[in-house]
Amino acid sequence: MRDLILTWLASDGIPASAWGYRGNNMQYLLLFDLALALYSVGMLLCALALLRPKGVAARAAWAVLPAAILVHAVSFVAQWRVEGIFPLHTLLGAFSLYAMAAFMGAVRFSHSTGSVSAAFSLGAVPYLALLMAFLSRFHGVQLKTELPPSFLSAHLFAVMVSFSAFSLAAGSGLLLLAVEKALKEKRFGPFWQAMPSLEALDRETFRTIVTGFCFLSAGIAIGVAGAPQAWGVSWFLDGRLLSSLLVWSLYGVYLIARARYGWRGRKLALFSVSGFALTLVTYVLINMGKYVL
């Protein structure tokens, strides 16, 4: 199969390297590209489902998106097998894992709320991440970290999944704000019709935040366990740890406020959006800036 594709590419005068295929990486990159194609079809179907929420496009999207996730997961495992280490040391791996987790969350969210259109709205950012992962193969950007390898994979995995969850919660929060605004202002357009109910959005946003919080807690715990080996006695003064703790505390405060004072609806939505904005600053500006070579 691999030779067949190489021959086909060569017949068009395009060298395989132009697609980023080099040596053994072709196995998982081909699977990744197939997954990307399936995600593209799935997103297109979800967009069509906005026009007819229970039409053929919506039903097809339910089949295509899970298939895309499955192929994506296989490509991730294949990359792990080929490279021999958990594939989070490159931008391709990091974006890929983020997008896969976010799409899994979006599909679960849509299934739970019965609105395939929500998958389109929530899948937009992960889809962009996939495109970035696709482009990153041409630059081979490596991530660096001082954490011992034994802690690195588990730490990065937990943190990336929490990042996915918080981004999904922010997207869901934005949908919640839109639906709440329509209900308060009594303006109901076609987009509103395709959206899940307010309570479903509230419930799923909250669950997603809880999921993200659990993974972030695990990621921080693993990071702290490996930190003394990486940064010596003053490990607790590292900016990444402190900023992660800040994010963790923020979400922790929200969970307490929800349980005690019933912060929901608009408050939850605003919190999920602002919480993710802080997360973005923390991860992208502080962590990524230090990790990327």
Partner 1 sequence: MSSKPPKSPMYLFVSGVNHKRAPVHVRERLTRTGDVMEDSVKQLMTACPVREAVILSTCNRFEVYGVTDDVAETPDFVRPFFTSHLGLDADSFRNHFYFLGNGNAVEHLLEVTSSLDSMVLGEAQILHQVKEAFRAAAARNATGKMLNKLFQKAFEVGKRVRAETAIGRNAVSVSYAGVELARKIFGSLEGKTAMVVGVGEMSQLTIGHLVDHGVRHVLVTNRTYQNAVNLAARHGGEAVEFERFPERLAEVDILISSTAASGYILRAEEVRRAMARRKQQPVLMVDIAVPRDIEPEVGNVSNVYLYNIDDLQNVVDHNVGEREQAALQARRIVQEGKTEFLEWLQSLQVVPVIEGLMARAEQIADDELAKAMARLSGLSEHDRNIVRAALRGTTHKMLHAPLKNLKRLSQESNAAQTLDLVRDLFELKPGQQAAAPEGVKG
**Interacting residues with partner 1 (CB under 8 A):** 52, 54-55, 113-114, 179, 183-184, 186, 188, 192-193, 196-200, 202, 261-267
Q: CB of 198: closest distance to partner 1 in angstroms?
A: 5
CB contact at 8 A, 194 and 117: yes
Least spacing, CB of residue 52 vs partner 1, in Å: 8
User: From the CB of 182, what's the least distance to partner 1, in Å?
Assistant: 9
- Select 7 or 197, whichever has its Cβ closest to partner 1: 197
Which residues are paired to 90 by β-bridges?
142
Between CA 116 and CA 292 the distance in angstroms is 36
Nearer to partner 1, 124 or 270 (CB): 270
Considering beta carbons, is residue 266 or 290 the nearer one to partner 1?
266
How far is CA 289 from its chain centroid? 19
The backbone torsions φ and ψ at residue 164, rounded to the nearest 5 degrees and listed phi first, read: -60, -45
- Tracing tokens 């919506």 back to the chain, one arrives at 58
Q: Rounded to an integer, what is the distance from CA 68 to the centroid of its chain?
A: 14
- Cβ proximity to partner 1: between 74 and 257 the closer is 257
Rounded to the nearest 10 degrees, the angle between the axes of helix 116-136 and helix 56-83 is 30
Minimum Å gap between C-beta 60 and partner 1 is 15
Nearer to partner 1 (CB atom), residue 98 or residue 263: 263
Q: From the CB of 238, what's the least distance to partner 1, in Å?
A: 38
Cα separation, 154 vs 88, whole angstroms = 10
Nearer to partner 1, 188 or 236 (CB): 188
Distance separating alpha carbons of residues 10 and 116, to the nearest angstrom = 40
Structure tokens at 264: 């929901």
Closest CA to 93 of 65, 129, 43, 68: 129
Is residue 118 within 8 Å of 171, Cβ to Cβ?
no
Q: How far is the CB of 105 from partner 1 (least distance, A)?
A: 19
CB of 178 to partner 1, least distance (A): 12
Q: Compute the distance between CA of residue 130 and CA of residue 135 in angstroms, rounded to an integer.
A: 9
Q: Which is nearer to partner 1, 24 or 112 (CB)?
A: 112
